Structure 1
Amino acid sequence: MRAHIRSTSMHPSGNHIDAEVDVRTLSVALLSGTGRMGVHLSAAWAHAGMDVRVCSRRKEKAQQIVDALLSGQGYSTGQIMVPPHPCDRPAPSASWRLQAGRVEEAADADVIVLASPFHVMWRTLEPLAPRMRGKGKIFIDLTNPWLNTSAPKGPRGQTLPPIPKAEPQASVLFHKTRFNDPTSSWCHAYRHVFWMLIHPTGPNPRCGERLGVELLGDPRAVAVCTAMIKAHGFKPVIRPGGCEVAPRYEISMLGRREKGPDAPPAAGSDPDGLIGPFSASPLIAVDALLEKAARHFR
């Protein structure tokens, strides 16, 4: 199913983009979507009316998550904490178009969300590429090369650069270049967003007034991702320049990788209201501890 586009407007880069996307027409696949961000976003997007598939190498793992979410009871394990619906039965989730699937089934979606850790993402995507190329797919890249989980090791155990120096120094450029398909459209988004701030019915109340989600990329992907961000209650913050400027906006555990007076401000210190783990209420840490304690009594 192709996304229904109603009108056009101007991208900050100067390019015209499709501005109004009916998210209810979108089929979305989260590629390796059983992790922290994947589970939280799948619930939020399903609640917003999208057709969402949580894809995993182990479909039974994805099915367990989907069944819990559809029951209205939420899903809580490890650092994943999707709350139950705050309403009586039947829960709204009973009508969600949310399914589990194998990794291979992601190739059938309009929008493919790259939700694996960076160091395994291309190995997951590459076998699917022949089925996706030439079909105008939209990719939303959530991967972050400079998180600890993405640090590759050399033969003597030394830490290697997550992206070889000869490759583009941004995950969305790295994947887009390797995918090599002029019909596809790419963006990166949600890189700075703490997954626990995303609830199925909207932003976690601990967010406060900062609801900005940074995104950048190709115009068509930016238009679709903008609509998806708005659909679950957050505010898109579009950076001009397309995918080519992505290296400026890469982040690590210590903030922006680019330093200096001209570097973009990080979430929490920017004028655009970007939401991040340190700009939300510190009570979110208390919420997490209480949730983990409550698991022992269920």
Structure 2
Amino acid sequence: MALRPHALLPGRYDQRKVLATTVDAWGRALWLVCPEAELRPNPYGSPSPHPRTAPYDALLVVADGGTFRELPLRDITLRVSLLDALPNGRLVLYGYEAAGDRNAQIYGRDGRRRHRFALGSAVEFLMADRRHHLWSAYGDEGVYSDPLSAPGLVRWDSGGNRRWGYSAPKGVEYIDTVYACNVGDGVAWASYYPTFPLLEARADGRIRLRRSPVAAPSGLAVDGDLLVMLGGDRQPDRLQRCRLTADEVLTVEEARLTLPDGTPLKRYARCVGRGRYLYVRRRSRGQWYVTSVR
């Protein structure tokens, strides 16, 4: 099965200076570009861009279908690693800030900062929906050291106010690290270490856990009672089509996911699940691909 091209950053922007990128709840690709960034060595992979000074200005590039628009952002104090679009033209940024723990910032449609708040540490996923819910999922370094991160999955409103945190039912392992996350309108799905159940968390506080045969997936997409999971059992291109019952995930079919030209999908840097769609980014920060449940 082949991925489809979804969005490509135009060549006039230097993808080496992209601080963060995602695909939002409306299917738009977002890139935060800092023209004054410099590449610095990264012990975990390729050199990564860092702003030379703080605060700094950056440019949000938005791909919506075949059109592109820009939004200049002013006075960013974070070394941004994650971002997402909020309703009403706003934007949330997450990253490291040397002075203080308010490591999330909300920007208005005019490109100016409106609010700062503490989101916790070791955020693996930061994803908003179209109904003013913002979900954050965490890794073990945050779960075991930061009270804000300790639930492993947290829901905020779109103003940065904490509304809910996951608490594992009796007899179920708590979240150590969220490996895969999908956010639709009013619902988040997650697969987490150590036992990799499929967690369904509704915005009204209801949760459901299903036993899953897929360990360590890197991405998932959901549509009704259908589910696809990518990268299970640490095989990057392994795509499993599944059906959901009341309490389990049943594998229906397995396939290998390839690039559009049929090249094996050996490595990728990021998966973003949005309802029925799963967006995949390779090491290049400039291009997104997509597959779907149906």
Could you state the TM-score of these two structures normalised by the residue count of structure 1?
0.31
**Structure of greater relative contact order (alpha carbons < 8 Å, 6+ residues apart):** 1
- Decide which structure has greater strand share: 2
Could you state the TM-score of these two structures normalised by the residue count of structure 2?
0.31
